[in-house]
Amino acid sequence: MLDLLFPPECGGCGTAGSRWCIDCQKRVFLLDGILCDICGLPQDRAGVCDACRLERPLYRALRAWSVFEDPVQKALHKLKYRRDISMGNSLASQMIPFVNGLNWQVDLIVPIPLGRQRFKERGYNQVGMIAKPLALALNIRYAPDELFRRKETRSQVGLTKMERKANMQNAFQAGAGVIGRSVLVMDDVSTTGSTLSAAAEALYSTGAKNVYALTVARALPHHGLGHV
């Protein structure tokens, strides 16, 4: 009834009548091809990239559904900053075949938690708005309380790779429910993977069996395939 009275607008292009229109679904730039076995960044040869050989991230593998550009970038911004929480369901629905195709055997899906101040300001965790419907669709337990922030961190935007890593050091603590479990930790966007690696460290420290990382999108250099 609300949709009839107030027609939704597409999160990617703003077209009235749909929250995530067919055209935007077709325009998603999927992150596929030859990817590093661990960090999931594109490269020109199969296997592990040079960066992961030098310093292996703590998760077993990281994969992103798409490249962080329009229409996904606009949709995520609408979810995160304009309180359009319905975008979470729309994005999760389109991600289901991709996540199934990873063939990861996981027991829990855990979203990266917000700090207290950001949660108070926003009122919800935008990652959870995607992770929860995805978990329900895949029949995997959604466990947002099994990971929380031990400290408030500054925004990662504009920080170098080393600054991001230092910013997230000891940022998380995991709950006892992850002991002996294979965990899929999820974020909306990854750049260097520092946040997800810090989360994986906390999960492993508490006793998780395996930790995989998933994001909706991956930020890449413009028209490039290297690390950012």
Residue 151 pLDDT class (50, 70, 90 cuts): confident
Question: Does some domain include residue 197?
Answer: yes
Question: Does some domain include residue 225?
Answer: no
Question: What distances in angstroms separate CA 65 from CA 47, 53, 115, 119, one per listed residue?
Answer: 19, 23, 25, 25
pTM of the model as a whole: 0.88
Question: What distances in angstroms separate CA 137 from CA 104, 134, 224, one per listed residue?
Answer: 15, 5, 34
The residue among 222, 223, 132, 224 whose CA lies nearest residue 186 is: 132
The CATH number given to whatever domain includes residue 93 is 3.40.50
Residues 6+ apart with CB under 8 A from 17: 7, 8, 10
Say what the pLDDT of residue 115 is: 85
Query: Helix, strand or coil for residue 187?
Result: strand
Question: Does some domain include residue 2?
Answer: no
Say what the pLDDT of residue 209 is: 98
pLDDT digits (tens, 9 = 90+) for 104-139: 999 999 999 998 888 888 999 999 999 999 999 999
- Domain range for 45 is 30-218
Question: Does some domain include residue 118?
Answer: yes
Count the domains in the chain: 1
Say what the pLDDT of residue 150 is: 81
Q: What is the mean pLDDT of residues 89-112?
A: 97
Question: Does some domain include residue 213?
Answer: yes
Question: Does some domain include residue 156?
Answer: yes
pLDDT digits (tens, 9 = 90+) for 24-52: 999 999 999 999 999 999 999 999 999 99
